[in-house]
Amino acid sequence: MNFEADSIKVARQTGVTMSLSQSKLAIIGMGHVGCALAHHLTIGNLCDELILIDHLKEKAWAEAEDLKHSLGFSENRMNIYAGDYSDYKDADIVVLSVSAPNVGVTTRLDMLDKASRIVSDIVPQVMQSGFAGIFIVITNPVDAISYLVHKLSGLPPHRVMGTGTSLDSARLRHFLADTMGVDPRSVEAMCLGEHGDSQMIPWSQVTVGAKKFSEILHDNPERLQGIDIHKVQQEISQIAYKIVHAKGATNFGIAAVAARMIKAIVRDSNTVMPVSVMLNGEYGESDVYTGVPAVITCNGIKELVTYHLEEHELAEFKQSLQLLKRVNQQMMASFNNEELCE
């Protein structure tokens, strides 16, 4: 699907679509993920101006100062500082990395009520500043929160995207690569649907060295160590909980995902990633954010990549979408209509 994309700052000024010659980013939420992302952006020199915002103002100030001091050991030059809502007006990208407490939660969806309340307080303030850029949502449950940000902001759906199933897909590629003894970059595999327990793997689309995975299973069963694809899917969807249990949070992987999305926007690279985006007729579904491969440019989402799924895969994918739709309905019912920008 092609979006009629409006340009962000550079294109508005010049009338042409191009990479951002000067980029201004804001990260809201300086917890484990926000700090890891800020570090990625700093060492990667992925923006010219970086604003760090947190409800604990001293924390945002301290992180900004620490990052600025690190610039003394690199050739990068960035303006990094702690800011407030007035700084959003001319930002190109605002990243939501705020989080609800995960103590006692069983799934990401258990965080929805608290997370949606936090986000519903932040987004209107961002929009009141005059912000007209792109939202990147990391906050879990990311599909539902991305949908909420779209509704609250009034921005077109191609300007609001979540990290989606990119991290799940990276985990899948590494699992398959380790099992088969190949470089993960030789594996093409993506998870679709919810960034959560109902996600699915379209095995018909998985390739290794451009060879279909189904053919590899047939030709080299001994090499795959009796792999059970159903157990693979469960392992990929559950590994985050194991990491959180062991270290308290996941941060490096998801920060790398967000940094890659930002790089695609800033450099207008037409990068394909499985991010959380709005469906508008793809797979016969609409009005739901979910993880599917999409082309990312400086205007946001340019188009979606649709797979020709096998019948049972499509049914499994639609089950995940129906779950997300129910979650969205329950979430939106808790907000008054006047709070939303349609």
Structural contact between residues 50 and 78, judged by C-beta atoms closer than 8 angstroms: yes
Question: Based on the domain organization, do 205 and 280 belong to the same domain?
Answer: yes
Q: 140: annotated binding-site residue? A: yes
pLDDT number for residue 108: 73
Report how far residue 10's alpha carbon sits from residue 259's, in angstroms, rounded to the nearest whole number.
20
Report how far residue 288's alpha carbon sits from residue 204's, in angstroms, rounded to the nearest whole number.
24
Please report where in the chains the tokens 């020199």 appear, as a residue: 45
pLDDT number for residue 238: 83
Report how far residue 239's alpha carbon sits from residue 231's, in angstroms, rounded to the nearest whole number.
12
Question: Based on the domain organization, do 170 and 160 belong to the same domain?
Answer: no
Q: How many CB atoms lie within 10 A of CB 246?
A: 7
Whichever domain contains 27, its CATH number is: 3.40.50.720
Q: 141: annotated binding-site residue? A: yes
Task: Give the tokens for residue 295.
Answer: 């082309």
Question: Based on the domain organization, do 178 and 107 belong to the same domain?
Answer: no
Q: 33: annotated binding-site residue? A: yes
Report how far residue 153's alpha carbon sits from residue 31's, in angstroms, rounded to the nearest whole number.
23
Report how far residue 160's alpha carbon sits from residue 158's, in angstroms, rounded to the nearest whole number.
6
Burial 58-83, CB ≥16 within 10 A → b, else e: ebbbebbeebeeeeeeeeeebebbbb
Domain count, the chain: 2
Cα–Cα distances (Å) from 308 to 36, 186, 311, in that order, read 36, 22, 9
Which mean pLDDT values do the consecutive 10-residue runs of the chain (342 residues) have?
A: 44 46 91 96 94 96 96 89 91 94 67 91 96 97 97 97 97 91 94 94 95 89 76 84 86 96 97 97 97 98 97 97 95 69 50
Residues 6+ apart with CB under 8 A from 52: 26, 27, 30, 34, 38, 60, 63, 64, 67, 80, 81, 82, 83
State the catalytic residue, choosing from 32, 39, 150, 195. 195
Whichever domain contains 210, its CATH number is: 3.90.110.10
Residue 1 belongs to some domain of the structure: no
Residue 2 belongs to some domain of the structure: no
Q: 107: annotated binding-site residue? A: no
pLDDT number for residue 4: 41
Residue 3 belongs to some domain of the structure: no
Q: Is 174 considered catalytic here?
A: no
Structural contact between residues 28 and 96, judged by C-beta atoms closer than 8 angstroms: yes
Report how far residue 215's alpha carbon sits from residue 213's, in angstroms, rounded to the nearest whole number.
5
Residue 38 belongs to some domain of the structure: yes
Query: Side-chain half-sphere of 128: how many Cα atoms within 13 Å?
Result: 9
Cα–Cα distances (Å) from 299 to 41, 130, 234, in that order, read 19, 17, 35
Q: 297: annotated binding-site residue? A: no
Question: Based on the domain organization, do 89 and 238 belong to the same domain?
Answer: no
Question: Based on the domain organization, do 267 and 310 belong to the same domain?
Answer: yes
Question: Based on the domain organization, do 137 and 212 belong to the same domain?
Answer: no
Question: Based on the domain organization, do 90 and 116 belong to the same domain?
Answer: yes
Q: 139: annotated binding-site residue? A: yes
Question: Based on the domain organization, do 160 and 170 belong to the same domain?
Answer: no
Question: Based on the domain organization, do 251 and 120 belong to the same domain?
Answer: no
Helices 32-44 & 57-70 angle (0-180, nearest 10): 30
Residue 117 belongs to some domain of the structure: yes
Q: 187: annotated binding-site residue? A: no
Residue 268 belongs to some domain of the structure: yes
User: Which domain-ending residue is among 164, 184, 215?
Assistant: 164
User: Which domain-ending residue is among 164, 182, 211?
Assistant: 164
Question: Based on the domain organization, do 188 and 324 belong to the same domain?
Answer: yes
Structural contact between residues 165 and 190, judged by C-beta atoms closer than 8 angstroms: yes
Q: What is the 3-state secondary structure (H, E, C) of 96-145?
A: ECCCCCCCCCCCHHHHHHHHHHHHHHHHHHHHHCCCCCEEEECCCCHHHH
Residues 6+ apart with CB under 8 A from 268: 17, 18, 19, 20, 297, 298
Report how far residue 279's alpha carbon sits from residue 286's, in angstroms, rounded to the nearest whole number.
5
Residue 340 belongs to some domain of the structure: no
Question: Based on the domain organization, do 114 and 170 belong to the same domain?
Answer: no
Q: 138: annotated binding-site residue? A: yes
Expressed as residue numbers, the domain containing 45 is: 9-164
User: Which domain-ending residue is among 146, 164, 182?
Assistant: 164
Question: Based on the domain organization, do 158 and 171 belong to the same domain?
Answer: no
